[in-house]
């Protein structure tokens, strides 16, 4: 059974650093992209970036490039999302999700098929 289990809720002050995790099980961790998605309360889903754990290739949404770092540790099948200096506007629920690649007759499509339970990050002075 595929599972993505995220680390627990965090309360931080502006300017602090943070690293949250997503531990995968039930599938070959290095064979699939894994991504991070933000949901600010009252807003929609925003794609932040993805990582391919086999070679650590990453692709970021330009809106989040330079604001966060996505990494992975193959030895423990875990992906990470990291901030070096949090802002109040980073307050949100963060989800990790596995990105499945499906070959079609005329191309390829990607979609998130399994999701972590979410990590609530609250940044407040």
Residues 6 or more apart whose CB falls under 8 angstroms from that of 17 comprise 82, 83, 84, 85, 86
Residues in 9-48 at the binding interface with other proteins, rule: CB under 8 A: 33, 35, 37, 39, 44-47
Residues in 60-89 at the binding interface with other proteins, rule: CB under 8 A: 61
Please identify which residue in 3, 17, 31, 59 interacts with other proteins, judged by CB under 8 A.
59
Residue 45 phi, psi (nearest 5): -80, 140
Question: Measuring CA to CA, how many Å separate 109 from each of 3, 51, 115?
Answer: 22, 17, 18
Nearer to other proteins, 18 or 34 (CB): 34
Nearer to other proteins, 59 or 84 (CB): 59
Asked if 106 is part of the footprint of other proteins (rule: CB under 8 A), the reply reads yes
Stretch that binds other proteins, among 11-19, 64-72, 78-86, 107-115 (CB under 8 A): 107-115
Residue with tokens 């064979």: 31
State whether the Cα torsion 5-70-60-44 is positive or negative: positive
Both structure tokens of 122: 């609250």
Residue with tokens 């995790």: 21
Overall residue count recorded for the chain in this entry: 125
Least distance to other proteins, CB of residue 115, Å: 4
Asked if 53 is part of the footprint of other proteins (rule: CB under 8 A), the reply reads no
Binding site for other proteins (CB under 8 A): 33, 35, 37, 39, 44-47, 50, 57, 59, 61, 95, 97, 99-100, 102, 104, 106-113, 115-118
């Amino acid at each position: 059974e595929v599972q993505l289990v995220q680390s627990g809720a965090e309360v931080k002050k502006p300017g602090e650093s943070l690293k949250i995790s997503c531990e995968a099980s039930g599938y070959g961790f290095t064979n699939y992209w894994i991504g991070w998605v933000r949901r600010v309360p009252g807003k929609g889903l925003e794609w932040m970036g993805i990582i391919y754990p086999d070679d650590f290739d990453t692709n970021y949404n330009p809106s989040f490039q330079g604001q966060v770092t996505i990494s992975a540790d193959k030895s423990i099948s875990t992906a990470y999302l990291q901030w070096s200096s949090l802002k109040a506007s980073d307050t949100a629920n963060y989800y990790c999700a596995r990105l499945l690649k499906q070959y079609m007759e005329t191309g390829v499509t990607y979609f998130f098929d399994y999701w972590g339970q979410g990590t609530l990050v609250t940044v407040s002075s």
